[in-house]
Structure 1
Amino acid sequence: MMPRDNMTSTVQKIARQALTTFRNPSVVGEHNKVFLENQSKLKSLLAEVRAADLKIVPRTIESAPTPPQRVAPPVTYMHIFETDTFSMGVFLLKTGASIPLHDHPGMYGMLKVIYGKVRISCFDRLDKPRDGASGVQFNPPLMSFQRSNLRPSMLRSVGEYTEENGPCVLSPQKDNIHQIDAVDGPTAFLDILAPPYDPDEGRDCHYYKVLNAHSEATDRKSDAQEHGDLWLMEIPQPSEFWCGGEPYPGPKVSL
């Protein structure tokens, strides 16, 4: 008889490891050795997952389904599993689609591409602008209520990911705000968030727009665009973005 673990689906193994990694909030943190070891095991499992493990057929421009007589959503989501500890599902992006710049308050996350290519732009919030707040100006000028929605930030990284790459990882402190763009055709990725979004617990999704500002200090530098203060302004969910749902065809998860 085949050993039990060899019969366990890849997605089941990932879910088990996600539960082990995140279920005890008291040990979840970047400075806890046990957490980091469990997080590394989860990353290794995710690095190996492929579309076939989830019984998802990679789509082309022609094969992506379009519901009749209505506009299809640019992004759809396949729900796999959710507990109070973590959520897991697959996002599918059409050609040219984007998940706009958004945050994950107090959450860890892992994103593993299963087909296609995505570009991920990650931002971090700053406690204060790198060049100070003195004389900050925006063009066009902002109203007072808009300024109250500003957050000093920095662009941490921009990278492209395919199924050959390991997962993109975010934490409450690093890479927590990001935008995801489909590159060169349809794409899909497996997504884990821990804990899940929950507005009642202060974990609601917020959307942002990037603004560049110039202060008296940056105006004296030769390359003001490069060294200028970067701000994120909280905005409503962009009207061109919405997310539909699709049934998940792969192996079931039970914990």
Structure 2
Amino acid sequence: MLLEQRGMELCQLQSENSNNKAKKNRRRSKKSTPSIVQLLYQTCKEVFANGGAGVIPSPQDVERVRFVLDSLKPEDVGLTQDMPYFKEIEKKGTPRIAYLHVYECDKFSIGIFCLPPSGVIPLHNHPGMTVFSKLLFGSMHIKSYDWVTNAPQITQENLKDSQMLAVQPPGTRLAKVNTDSVFTAPNTSILYPAAGGNMHCFTAMTSCAVLDVLGPPYSDKEGRHCMYYRDVRCASISGDAVPLPLPLPVNERENYAWLEEKEKPQNFVVVGALYRGPQVIEE
């Protein structure tokens, strides 16, 4: 009996030790599992390691970043739609935009823009950057442009029809519309230094949040300034306007616009807010 009792006690002790080890392993496993924000940081660190202005990641690396962003949800970055950033305040003018700083280094940056209904991020550029924008929730209208760099030359045949010519207002540059649509979350879009809609404008149809990854980030020191633009629709020749040597058929004219640099709009106000999601641990 004593031997049997001793044996039972040893079995119980071994079982308890096994359970304790299993619990410790589970706790250790939980501690070692990075947040999706940390995973995004690690992925961007690798993807943009050798990057710089005008350097586009490989298609495989672009998909790596997109895959992480596609999996990211508002709660992963500490956001809920009832936060004050997203509430509509009755007052004249464009509502303020809140910006949550997640991480930035000289290779890339991660941040979140929080827009109340009717919030607008005006038309601006991303010089030399590859940009990933993840719409976390809500819906927004996006209008984007790319510069026209390979315009067809004017010919004698085109000269015969003045309506085929676009008129260039002074101080402008021709751009072609890339996107002009309403997007609903979840949605990840990508733009490149010279394609994909490098210059874009966001207008919130509902309260919404968009997470941006910029590679590389803006840098006044390195000449990557954020420029703002006013878009002017293409028109036919009239008055003293000087025609640009570019044939634009009437049915395609709405796909082009003249962009004019302008100062940052006074009614565009971005305020910094506290990021409440998982913190990035630099490695």
The TM-score by the shorter chain falls in which range? 0.7 to 0.9
Residues 62 and 40 (structure 1), Cα distance of their counterparts in 2 relative to 1, 3 Å cut: closer
Which deviates the most, 122-131 or 109-118? 122-131
The yes-or-no answer on 1:169 pairing with 2:195 is no
Q: What is the alpha-carbon distance in structure 1 between the residues aligned to residue 112 and residue 271 of structure 2?
A: 12
The yes-or-no answer on 1:40 pairing with 2:63 is yes
- After superposition, give the CA deviation of every residue in 1:191-214 in whole Å (9 maximum; x if it has no partner): 111111111111000001111233
> What is residue 13 of structure 1 aligned with on the other side?
39
Q: What is the alpha-carbon distance in structure 2 between the residues aligned to residue 101 and residue 72 of structure 1?
A: 14
Give the CA deviation at 1:172: 0.5
- Of 116, 124, 129, the residue aligned with 2:138 is 116
Give the CA deviation at 1:252: 0.2
- Structure with max Cα Rg: 2
In structure 1, give the amino acid aligned to 2:67: S
- After superposition, give the CA deviation of every residue in 1:99-154 in whole Å (9 maximum; x if it has no partner): 0000010011111011111221111001255575x97536xxx5xxxx23x11110
Partner-residue secondary structure (3-state), 2:62? helix
TM-score by length of 1: 0.81
Q: What is the alpha-carbon distance in structure 2 between the residues aligned to residue 106 and residue 62 of structure 1?
A: 30
Where do residues 96-175 of structure 1 align in structure 2 (5 Å cutoff)? Answer: 96-127=118-149, 129=151, 136-137=166-167, 142=169, 147-148=170-171, 150-165=172-187, 167-174=188-195, 175=197
Q: What is the alpha-carbon distance in structure 2 between the residues aligned to residue 62 and residue 105 of structure 1?
A: 28
Give the CA deviation at 1:16: 0.7
Q: Is the 8 A contact 1:214 1:224 kept in 2?
A: no
In structure 2, give the amino acid aligned to 1:118: M
Give the CA deviation at 1:61: 8.4
Q: What is the alpha-carbon distance in structure 1 between the residues aligned to residue 111 and residue 78 of structure 2?
A: 13
Q: What is the alpha-carbon distance in structure 1 between the residues aligned to residue 85 and residue 272 of structure 2?
A: 19
> What is residue 76 of structure 2 aligned with on the other side?
53
Residues 63 and 85 (structure 1), Cα distance of their counterparts in 2 relative to 1, 3 Å cut: closer
Residues 61 and 245 (structure 1), Cα distance of their counterparts in 2 relative to 1, 3 Å cut: closer
Give the CA deviation at 1:221: 5.1
Q: What is the alpha-carbon distance in structure 2 between the residues aligned to residue 126 and residue 219 of structure 1?
A: 13
Residues 130 and 220 (structure 1), Cα distance of their counterparts in 2 relative to 1, 3 Å cut: closer
The yes-or-no answer on 1:199 pairing with 2:212 is no
The yes-or-no answer on 1:226 pairing with 2:254 is yes
Q: What is the alpha-carbon distance in structure 2 between the residues aligned to residue 249 and residue 180 of structure 1?
A: 24
TM-score by length of 2: 0.73
In structure 1, give the amino acid aligned to 2:124: H
- Of 235, 242, 248, the residue aligned with 2:269 is 242
Give the CA deviation at 1:5: 8.5
Residues 218 and 197 (structure 1), Cα distance of their counterparts in 2 relative to 1, 3 Å cut: closer
In structure 2, give the amino acid aligned to 1:48: S
> What is residue 208 of structure 2 aligned with on the other side?
187
Between Structure 1 and Structure 2, the one with more helix by share is 2
Residues 176 and 5 (structure 1), Cα distance of their counterparts in 2 relative to 1, 3 Å cut: farther
Partner-residue secondary structure (3-state), 2:224? coil
> What is residue 77 of structure 1 aligned with on the other side?
99
Q: Is the 8 A contact 1:88 1:191 kept in 2?
A: yes
Structure 2 unaligned regions, length at least 5: 1-24, 160-164, 238-242
Q: Is the 8 A contact 1:116 1:162 kept in 2?
A: yes
Give the CA deviation at 1:173: 1.0
Q: What is the alpha-carbon distance in structure 2 between the residues aligned to residue 245 and residue 155 of structure 1?
A: 31
Q: What is the alpha-carbon distance in structure 2 between the residues aligned to residue 220 and residue 57 of structure 1?
A: 46
Number of residue pairs aligned between Structure 1 and Structure 2:
238
In structure 2, give the amino acid aligned to 1:191: D
